[in-house]
A and B are shown apart, each in its own frame.
Chain A
Amino acid sequence: MTGPGPAGAAQPTMTTASALPGPVTDEDSADFWAGTRRHELRLQRCRACGQVRFPPMPRCPNCGSPDAASELAEPAGEVYSWITVHREMSGIKPDELPCTFVVVDLAAGCRMVGRFAGFWAGTIGDPVVAVPADHEHWTEIRFAAAESSRAGS
């Protein structure tokens, strides 16, 4: 996944052939989703208070300013919490079980949720990296253990 500088470059990419319906994007989110398609993690940074936010929204949830810039964010962070799904549910195929989701505190200073790529044996505080997962018409952001990512690159 493309990061803001050399440190974030050359992360692994994963392609899946999933039948998941893609996101219904809107004016606020178009930049983010266009970014994931290019394997970039693009976040909004408030020009008034300097804070990064997710999900994208028209004004800063911290100070209310409408003035924001889109920037490339470092695709890395730490696991804030996690769950593992053991039963088939909407959007998760039986052969994907058990399926772990992680809420990640991104280094940029905001939180995202995504699927954990691979078998989860981790815990809160573990370092993870964002990895793009290409679907036919959209690209999802997943998270993988930071160590295994380094080992594979």
Chain B
Amino acid sequence: MTAAIAGIGYTPFSAQAGRSVLDLAAEACQAALDDAGLPATEVDGLGSFMVMHDSVPCQAVATTLGIGELRLSLDLDLGGQAPCHLVSLASAAITAGLADSVLVFRAMKGRSGNRVGAMSFAGGGGQYRYPIGYGAYMMYIGMWAQRFLYETGQGEEDLAAIVLAQREYAAANERAYRRRLITEEEYYQAPYVVEPFRAADCTVEVDGACAVLVTSLDRARALRHPPAVIAAAGYSAGPRSGLDIGDHLLWADYSRNYTHLLAPRLYRAAGLGPADIQMAEIYDCFSSTVMMALEGLGLCGRGESGGFARGGGTRLDGRLPVNTHGGLLCEGYLHGMNTVAEAALQVQGRGGDRQAPRHETCIVTSGALMDGSGMILTADR
């Protein structure tokens, strides 16, 4: 049995929600149900993730929504690697008969509450990082970006191209937190935060929640919108992925992340190849991760992602529209749950002013370094 995404829900993304995380979670989940036209009493599974207890467990959301019996409850202790992973697990659970309809959500006060960028992650590797001041996640991504750009012969003009294209998308997205267009000159005028990143290369932290409803394709066909079919989904943590999500010291090659390992599996499961992919929603806590994933997924050749973006390839009229909501760089840092939601919206043809013209196949990623997840969504064919 194949599964599909049938509903999408959001709260507004803001700097200060002024409400509890549970309230945000419940609103996004209810919105996803309303979007699909499915009553909460039909939901029997929930999945979510949190970093250092910055969110609420599935149990609390089930209670708040008045869900009857929960047959599947997935609380992952992960960050941005989780969204596609959770959709994958929900899809597998539905296929296996463990659940019928699963809400996958992320809810957080990422701006006014616990800010992940400054968190100390659990695990044994932190003692070698935090005491020396090497403690912000952007430092780790920056370390990879620097090596990636060096090895692939790319540079800041390529990061700038990724950023500028996503700013254009965000301008057409009323949900985006950062909607102001910037010029290339403005990009370069901003000082480095952590070289090679300037402020515009970094995601914008927000308060908010986002949820998607995963159910069987058969059931999805009976609901309000055309299904976004989950043609393939999976997770990958490469060998020696470290002692915690910030411990990258044992990873062999900083110019290749988990997408290299995951991509062949996704394509095989979907029966598609990179040339069949019409659009991409790529996890972008920082601009460099878009380039690394485009190359890792085989959508661009090695060292060619920057040139592809500079040539307009990632824009709405380009060969492969990428991050049509403006990405996490602009829409807001819901740890990639909103990246999944945007992919589903696009495949369903509900992208509004930013709708990609060809949207039958979309590849999605969650995560940036040693581990992460991904999926391929297709229109119902």
Is chain B a partner of chain A in the same complex?
yes
Report chain A residues within 8 Å CB of B240: 61-62
- Other-chain contact of B133, A26, A29, A92, A110 (Cβ < 8 Å): A92
Report chain A residues within 8 Å CB of B139: 83, 85, 101
- Other-chain contact of A84, B124, B192, B254 (Cβ < 8 Å): B192
Interface magnitude class on chain A: 35 or more
- Other-chain contact of B128, A21, A55, A91, A98 (Cβ < 8 Å): A55
Q: Is residue B261 contacting chain A, with contact meaning CB distance below 8 A?
A: no
User: Contact: A111 with B250, CB < 8 Å?
Assistant: yes
User: Contact: A99 with B133, CB < 8 Å?
Assistant: yes
Known contacts: A55-B247, A115-B133. The answer to whether A87 contacts B128 by CB under 8 A is: no
Q: Is residue A25 contacting chain B, with contact meaning CB distance below 8 A?
A: yes
Binds A, one of B51-59, B74-82, B144-152, B368-376: B144-152
Report chain A residues within 8 Å CB of B188: none
Q: Considering the chains assembled together, what is the distance between the CA atoms of A29 and B132 in angstroms?
A: 16
Q: Is residue A73 contacting chain B, with contact meaning CB distance below 8 A?
A: no
Query: Would you give the shortest CB distance from B78 to chain A, in whole angstroms?
Result: 20
Report chain B residues within 8 Å CB of A89: 118, 133, 135-136
User: Contact: A91 with B133, CB < 8 Å?
Assistant: yes
Known contacts: A86-B193, A91-B132. The answer to whether A103 contacts B249 by CB under 8 A is: yes
What is the predominant secondary structure among interface residues of chain B facing chain A? mixed
Q: Which of B129, B146, B196 has the most CB of A within 10 A?
A: B146
Give residues of chain B (334-372) contacting chain A, Cβ–Cβ below 8 Å.
Answer: none
Kindly report which residue of chain B lies nearest to residue A93, judged by CB atoms: B133
Q: Is residue B127 contacting chain A, with contact meaning CB distance below 8 A?
A: yes
Q: Considering the chains assembled together, what is the distance between the CA atoms of A139 and B313 in angstroms?
A: 50
Q: Is residue A17 contacting chain B, with contact meaning CB distance below 8 A?
A: no
Report chain A residues within 8 Å CB of B126: 24
Q: Which of B130, B135, B196 has the most CB of A within 10 A?
A: B130
Q: Is residue A81 contacting chain B, with contact meaning CB distance below 8 A?
A: yes
User: Contact: A86 with B254, CB < 8 Å?
Assistant: no
Report chain A residues within 8 Å CB of B150: 81, 124
Report chain B residues within 8 Å CB of A96: 133
Report chain B residues within 8 Å CB of A114: 132, 134
Give residues of chain A (1-46) contacting chain B, Cβ–Cβ below 8 Å.
Answer: 20-26, 28-29
Query: Would you give the shortest CB distance from A66 to chain B, in whole angstroms?
Result: 16
Q: Is residue B191 contacting chain A, with contact meaning CB distance below 8 A?
A: yes
Q: Is residue B195 contacting chain A, with contact meaning CB distance below 8 A?
A: yes
Q: Is residue B243 contacting chain A, with contact meaning CB distance below 8 A?
A: yes
User: Contact: B195 with A124, CB < 8 Å?
Assistant: no
Known contacts: A61-B250, A83-B143, A103-B249. The answer to whether A140 contacts B131 by CB under 8 A is: yes
- Other-chain contact of A113, B129, B147, B193 (Cβ < 8 Å): B129
User: Contact: B191 with A86, CB < 8 Å?
Assistant: yes
User: Contact: A140 with B132, CB < 8 Å?
Assistant: yes
Known contacts: A23-B128, A89-B133, A91-B132. The answer to whether A81 contacts B146 by CB under 8 A is: yes
- Other-chain contact of B131, A21, A84, A142 (Cβ < 8 Å): A21
Known contacts: A53-B250, A101-B139. The answer to whether A29 contacts B124 by CB under 8 A is: yes
Known contacts: A82-B146, A83-B142. The answer to whether A90 contacts B127 by CB under 8 A is: no
User: Contact: A91 with B131, CB < 8 Å?
Assistant: yes
Report chain A residues within 8 Å CB of B135: 89-91
Report chain B residues within 8 Å CB of A85: 133, 139, 193-195
User: Contact: A55 with B130, CB < 8 Å?
Assistant: no
User: Contact: B132 with A20, CB < 8 Å?
Assistant: yes
Query: Would you give the shortest CB distance from A90 to chain B, in whole angstroms?
Result: 5
Give residues of chain B (166-191) contacting chain A, Cβ–Cβ below 8 Å.
Answer: 191
Q: Is residue B264 contacting chain A, with contact meaning CB distance below 8 A?
A: no
Q: Considering the chains assembled together, what is the distance between the CA atoms of A25 and B131 in angstroms?
A: 11
Interface string of A58-71 (1 = CB under 8 A from B): 00011000000000
User: Contact: B125 with A83, CB < 8 Å?
Assistant: no
Kindly report which residue of chain A lies nearest to residue B252, judged by CB atoms: A111
A-B contact pairs, 8 of them (CB 8 A): A23-B128, A25-B127, A57-B243, A83-B146, A87-B193, A103-B249, A113-B134, A115-B132
Interface residues of B (CB under 8 A from A): 118, 124-136, 139, 142-144, 146-147, 150, 191-196, 240, 243, 247, 249-250, 254
